[in-house]
């Protein structure tokens, strides 16, 4: 006798101990569908095949399932709203990804609520909490993950009950502890490929302008670049890794700091294009030519860098498509217990900001 038949008989006869509460998973098992399909069939917010909907409703009626009021409210009250949390929407990297999210949202008649944390971890947690309270249909985190256990625990404490109640979550970039759908740019691999391209030009004296080390994007790009140099027998001295803010002004200050440290390298890698823009300005202020005196490269391929003089060598990422894919993952059908990771490869784009090193050695 199946569990479903035994439960039905015990309910009719009154025999046995009090049965456990009937949950959405119980209904899904009885109907032979996933919990996500059962939820959609019961709350009516998404179209479900008539045959599946009939099976779910019949199982719910037979088992006496009483829907969770909060879960139903989350699924129906604000199902046209998606929350997007980024570090700084004025940064062209985040603006381009957010543009992709908004394009995908418009195709689904969804409203996007966009918030910038300005890399304040407490503010990020607060925004997630606000979106939970607003019963947003989905929450998208499009900023870098952070290597911080306390932040990870606090974020998971907000997201776990939200997803259990039917909320959707997707992220862009590496988040170590979150078990959610992810659009993962291959930052480490892209930086390594860039290093190999610069080595092929003949460079052996490098420097890196980097950002906050706790950001996974920074850690991955620096590690990939360093590993590719090491594989070619080229060292990256500690004094030539200069930390700055993840901004244009941060790149400007980091480049001035690098130039003040002694003999300059033949090639500088800024871990974001935005930092590279500031670095280019600093080099000009010091009367240095790019690439004749110093080659310069970035990462992301934001639209602005193609218009610079000279245009910037970089690692291109399909930023708008990354936003579209994050939205697609958050709202995908057939979601199960296992999260999905979509890797996005970067492509080295060599432009006029890099060339062969001069006759001096730096």
* Distance in angstroms between the alpha carbons of the first and the last residue of the chain: 81
pLDDT on residue 27: 87
- When pLDDT is cut at 50, 70 and 90, the band that residue 22 belongs to is confident
The runs of H, that is alpha helices, within the chain are: 3-13, 24-31, 35-43, 50-63, 69-76, 92-107, 121-133, 149-164, 187-200, 216-231, 248-259, 273-285, 319-330
Cα angle at 195 between 302 and 186, to 5 degrees? 55
Are residues 301 and 210 located together in one domain of the fold?
yes
Is 17 a residue whose pLDDT tops 50? no
Whole-number Å distance between alpha carbons of 263 and 272 = 23
Which residue, of 17, 42, 67, is where some domain finishes? 67
State the average pLDDT over residues 266-282: 98
Domain that holds residue 107: 78-184+320-345
Whole-number Å distance between alpha carbons of 156 and 226 = 32
Helix (H) or strand (E) holding 267: strand 267-270
Are residues 202 and 215 located together in one domain of the fold?
yes
> Which has the minimum average pLDDT: 19-33, 217-231, 304-318?
19-33
Are residues 59 and 84 located together in one domain of the fold?
no
Query: Is-cis flag, bond preceding 310, omega within 30?
Result: yes
Are residues 233 and 295 located together in one domain of the fold?
yes
Are residues 221 and 151 located together in one domain of the fold?
no
DSSP 265: P
356 assigned to some structural domain: no
3-state secondary structure of 173: coil
For the stretch 293-319, pLDDT in tens is: 999 999 999 999 999 999 999 999 999
Candidates 158, 156, 107; CA nearest to 131 is 158
353 assigned to some structural domain: no
Are residues 39 and 57 located together in one domain of the fold?
yes
- Overall number of domains in the chain: 3
Candidates 199, 235, 156; CA nearest to 354 is 199
Are residues 32 and 113 located together in one domain of the fold?
no
- When pLDDT is cut at 50, 70 and 90, the band that residue 82 belongs to is very high
State the average pLDDT over residues 235-255: 96
Are residues 329 and 213 located together in one domain of the fold?
no
Are residues 211 and 289 located together in one domain of the fold?
yes
Are residues 327 and 313 located together in one domain of the fold?
no
pLDDT on residue 24: 81
Are residues 59 and 205 located together in one domain of the fold?
no
CA atoms within 13 A on the CB side of 84: 26
For the stretch 157-186, pLDDT in tens is: 888 888 888 889 999 998 777 788 999 999
Are residues 167 and 207 located together in one domain of the fold?
no
Tokens of 149: 């256990």
> Which has the minimum average pLDDT: 141-155, 251-265, 291-305?
141-155
pLDDT on residue 360: 43
Q: What is the CA radius of gyration of the chain?
A: 26
- When pLDDT is cut at 50, 70 and 90, the band that residue 61 belongs to is confident
Report the predicted TM-score, pTM, of the whole model to 2 decimal places: 0.76
Whole-number Å distance between alpha carbons of 224 and 269 = 12
351 assigned to some structural domain: no
């Amino acid at each position: 006798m199946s569990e479903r038949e035994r439960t039905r008989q015990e309910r009719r006869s009154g025999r046995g101990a009090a049965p456990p509460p009937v949950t959405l998973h119980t209904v899904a098992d009885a109907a032979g569908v996933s919990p996500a399909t059962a939820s959609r069939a019961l709350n009516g917010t998404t179209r479900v095949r008539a045959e599946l909907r009939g099976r779910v409703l019949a199982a719910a009626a037979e088992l006496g399932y009483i829907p969770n009021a909060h879960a139903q409210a989350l699924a129906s009250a604000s199902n046209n709203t998606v929350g997007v949390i980024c570090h700084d929407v004025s940064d062209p990297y985040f603006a381009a990804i957010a543009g992709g999210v908004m394009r995908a949202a418009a195709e689904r008649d969804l409203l996007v609520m966009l918030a910038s944390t300005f890399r304040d971890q407490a503010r990020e947690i607060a925004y997630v909490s606000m979106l939970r309270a607003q019963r947003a249909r989905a929450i998208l985190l499009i900023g870098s993950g952070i290597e911080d256990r306390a932040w990870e625990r606090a974020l998971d404490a907000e997201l776990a009950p939200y997803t259990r109640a039917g909320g959707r979550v997707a992220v862009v970039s590496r988040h170590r502890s979150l078990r959610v759908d992810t659009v993962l740019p291959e930052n480490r691999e892209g930086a390594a490929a860039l290093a190999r391209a610069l080595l092929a030009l003949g460079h052996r004296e490098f420097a890196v302008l980097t950002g906050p080390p706790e950001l996974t994007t920074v850690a991955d790009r620096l590690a990939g670049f360093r590993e590719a140099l090491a594989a070619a027998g080229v060292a990256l001295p500690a004094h030539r890794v200069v930390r700055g803010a993840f901004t244009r002004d941060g790149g400007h200050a980091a480049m001035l700091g690098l130039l003040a440290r002694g003999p300059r390298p033949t090639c500088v890698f800024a871990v974001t294009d935005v930092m590279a823009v500031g670095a280019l300005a600093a080099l000009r202020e010091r009367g240095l030519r790019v690439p004749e005196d110093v080659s310069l490269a970035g990462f992301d391929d934001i639209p602005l860098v193609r218009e610079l003089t000279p245009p910037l060598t970089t690692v291109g990422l399909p930023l708008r498509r990354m936003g579209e894919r994050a939205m697609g993952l958050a709202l995908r059908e057939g979601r199960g217990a296992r999260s999905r990771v979509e890797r996005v490869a970067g492509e080295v784009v060599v432009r006029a900001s890099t060339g062969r090193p001069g006759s001096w050695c730096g």
